[in-house]
Amino acid sequence: DAAYSTRLTDLDLILKAKNEDRILITRDFKLYHTSVKNKIKSFYVSSQNRAEVLAQIQKTFGLSLDMDPTISRCPLCNCVLKSVTKQYAAKKIKNNTLLYYDEYWSCAKCESIYWHGSHWKNIASTLEKAKNFV
């Protein structure tokens, strides 16, 4: 899973990475340098190209670049997603969406609903571009 915050100080981020055995991924070279100096597993993001960054992370850590909702996390709260029925999703989303999609997932914590819509397609496109960098 992943943790993300714009509110934590550099020291807080380093402590969180250490205490939770996380890898600190950052574009902030000073933060990266400090974390390496403190023996925190770190990765410096040198590119502004999202697909290239994903390819670098995949190559470095061996992560999959495939989209799989059964192991995906909620982008809002980082909790696991579970498959839900169309009827369940209907209680929480607009009717137009129900006309076009049959598969839905819900966050176990915040109950946000997800489906293979345009956002999903954009993510899939970025991942395909990343695979071309590898």
pLDDT in tens, 1-41: 788 888 999 999 999 999 999 999 999 999 999 999 999 99
DSSP code of 6?
S
**pTM attached to this predicted model:** 0.77
Asked whether the beta carbons of 67 and 120 are under 8 A apart, the reply is yes
The residue written with tokens 């209680």 in the block is 91
pLDDT of residue 52: 96
User: Domain ranges in the chain?
Assistant: 1-46
DSSP, residue by residue, 25-88: EES-HHHHHHHHHTT--EEE---S-HHHHHHHHHHHH----S--TTT-B-TTT-PBEEEE-HHH
Distance CA 3, CA 97 (A): 30
pLDDT in tens, 51-68: 999 999 999 999 899 988
pLDDT of residue 23: 95
pLDDT of residue 67: 85
